[in-house]
Amino acid sequence: MVSIADYYAGKNVLITGATGFMGKVLVEKLLRSCPEVQTLYLLVRPKAGQSMQERVSDMMKCKLFDRVREDNPDFHQKIVPISSELTQPALAISPEDVERLTSCVNIIFHCAATIRFDEPLKHALQLNVMATQQLLNLAQQMHHLQAFIHISTAYANCNRRHIDEIIYPPPVEPKKLIDSLEWMEDSIVCDITPRLIGDRPNTYTYTKALAECVVQKESSKLSIGIIRPSIVGASWQEPFPGWIDNFNGPSGVFIAAGKGILRTMRANNDAVADLIPVDVVINLTLAAGWYTAVHRLTFPPAALVYNCTTGGINPFHWGEIEHHVMSSFKRNPLEQAFRRPNANITSNYLMNQYWILVSHKFPALIYDLYLRLSGQKPQMMRIFNRLHKAIGLLEYFSSQDWEWNSENMNMLMSHLSPEDRKTFNFDVRQLNWPEYIENYCIGTKKYVLNEDMSDIPAARQHLRKLRNIRYTFNTLLLVFIWRVFIARSQMARNIWYFVVSLCFKFLSYFRASSTLTN
């Protein structure tokens, strides 16, 4: 069978969501490991005052592309941005571009989505479901299409404990839902959203489940693969360890803990933390593209689903993550930490509320008071409120376990040549978690916060200063409480005198015995 790189040689690839976290890694890996690929067409929208060309050229300047740049300084010639707003009719692609794409595209990777957990249902439906349908319509007009790869999520069916590599019946017929919500005002949709999403935690997982059904409907006409990654984290090996560029999922939690802001979170110490490195997901995605295309004529007309998870193969737990994240940030501290990193996870609701009060709200109040007194704008309480909202949305995923069947991932691996297994490695049995978490934490420091590694001694010095402030504060607090207590209670005074005299007696005894032995 042809190798993966040989398959992609001369192919035209269409990618949505290329400016996102996973899309960027996909573009980079294709250019680096499949250097003979013909053209990458990226569907991009203008954003924040930047044209789509400007956005794509900014993206190509990013550090992620350093290795590709080294191998082929002219790699940008292979990239063709196509203007597209996925929530618009016909994806807002111009007729000339449609003509161009339908005549030459061989493979589609559909990564674009809204991954916000608090996205209003209508918008999440528009982007995650309707745009997917429109892209499938476009795909059917393509004369040379060999594979359509849809990126879903392992949590699309998080209302089940055991998840097989099949597409489950939709909670509702997507078309009916879209039609009925179309005429409704946003406020009404907002009111009925909890009833609609039922036992799913948010509009994201709900709409991703509906999108899978939309994709499945077209599987008799197109060769389709569906990738379901779990919690996508920093890169494991490629293009370099620890690459990450956003606050999503665990990254924001790690950073907040490293900065000493987050001290408590509800999570189950013993639950599996199903993190999956982004390079593993992308290697599997490219291999699935190759497999889908090569076997397109022999497949029965059904989309092949790949659960892309680690829990069943190489499990690691939230308690272990907490331990390794904390020790990593103590070795490699973040700059200007608010307090020393010391976050604890607990599954006990009351305990968590207690620590929120003592370790989040109380220090925030004091710090804001200090800011106010020194003529600055208070900000800490606002930061904590945002943090509480964010972790509140994540807790559902860190408090329970799921079991994913990953037979198709194993099957795919067994079809790769030894060379492809190395170049497109998605064998998570080899993943060393402590080393991965260390690189992940360093990655958040270097690539998300843009902090310099040479500043680590100063950051350590800052942590020592914070420790001394804490010791002084605790001592003063103890003395203060004790003084108040002693002033009010005869019993406390008696205990105090008893302890002091006991200490004095011990001291005299040791001094006397040491004089005798000399």
x/- track of binding to ligand PKZ for residues 406-445 (CB under 6 A) = ----------------------------------------
250 binds ligand PKZ (CB under 6 A): yes
Helix (H) or strand (E) holding 455: none
Angle at 106 between CA 104 and CA 110, to 5 degrees: 115
Beta strands in 152-230 (DSSP E): 162-163, 224-229
Q: Which does 111 bind (CB under 5 to 8 A by kind): ligand NDP, ligand PKZ, none?
A: ligand NDP
275 binds ligand PKZ (CB under 6 A): no
Distance in Å, CB of 223 to ligand NDP, minimum: 19
Distance in Å, CB of 20 to ligand PKZ, minimum: 11
Distance in Å, CB of 116 to ligand NDP, minimum: 8
Region of 317-325, 417-425, 434-442, 472-480 interacting with ligand PKZ (CB under 6 A): 317-325
x/- track of binding to ligand PKZ for residues 328-367 (CB under 6 A) = ---------------x-x----------------------
Q: Which of 218, 238, 245, 322 binds ligand PKZ (CB under 6 A)?
A: 322
Please name the residue that has the structure tokens 């004369």.
Answer: 143
Helix (H) or strand (E) holding 484: helix 456-488
Region of 11-19, 278-286, 386-394, 461-469 interacting with ligand PKZ (CB under 6 A): 386-394
Report the C-alpha gap between 169 and 13 in whole angstroms: 31
User: What angle, rounded to 10 degrees, do the helices at 380-398 and 250-258 form?
Assistant: 130
Toward ligand NDP, which CB reaches closer, 112 or 147? 112
Q: Which does 47 bind (CB under 5 to 8 A by kind): ligand NDP, ligand PKZ, none?
A: ligand NDP
DSSP 405-451: --HHHHHHHHHS-HHHHHHT---GGG--HHHHHHHHHHHIIIIIS--
260 binds ligand PKZ (CB under 6 A): no
Toward ligand NDP, which CB reaches closer, 59 or 293? 59
User: Measured at CB, which residue is nearest to ligand NDP?
Assistant: 20
Toward ligand PKZ, which CB reaches closer, 322 or 368? 322
Beta strands in 383-473 (DSSP E): 403-404
Amino acid sitting at position 472: T
CB proximity list for 46: less than 8 A, separation 6 or greater: 52, 55, 83
Report the C-alpha gap between 380 and 368 in whole angstroms: 6
Report the C-alpha gap between 243 and 448 in whole angstroms: 9
Count of residues making up the chain: 518
CB proximity list for 366: less than 8 A, separation 6 or greater: none
CB proximity list for 475: less than 8 A, separation 6 or greater: none
Q: Which of 170, 171, 233, 252 binds ligand PKZ (CB under 6 A)?
A: 252
Q: Which does 250 bind (CB under 5 to 8 A by kind): ligand PKZ, ligand NDP, none?
A: ligand PKZ
Applying CB under 6 A, which residues contact ligand NDP? 17-23, 45, 47, 84-87, 111-115, 127, 151, 153, 208, 229, 231-232, 248-249
Please name the residue that has the structure tokens 């996205």.
Answer: 119
Report the C-alpha gap between 275 and 344 in whole angstroms: 19
Q: Which does 265 bind (CB under 5 to 8 A by kind): ligand NDP, ligand PKZ, none?
A: ligand PKZ
Toward ligand NDP, which CB reaches closer, 23 or 242? 23
Report the C-alpha gap between 327 and 446 in whole angstroms: 17
Distance in Å, CB of 374 to ligand NDP, minimum: 38
Toward ligand PKZ, which CB reaches closer, 212 or 322? 322
Cα 95 to chain centroid distance, Å, stands at 36
Nearest to 129 by CA among 215, 43, 27: 215
Residues that bind ligand PKZ (CB under 6 A): 115-118, 153, 155, 231, 247-250, 252-253, 256-257, 265, 267, 318, 321-322, 325, 343, 345, 386, 389-390, 393-394, 397-398
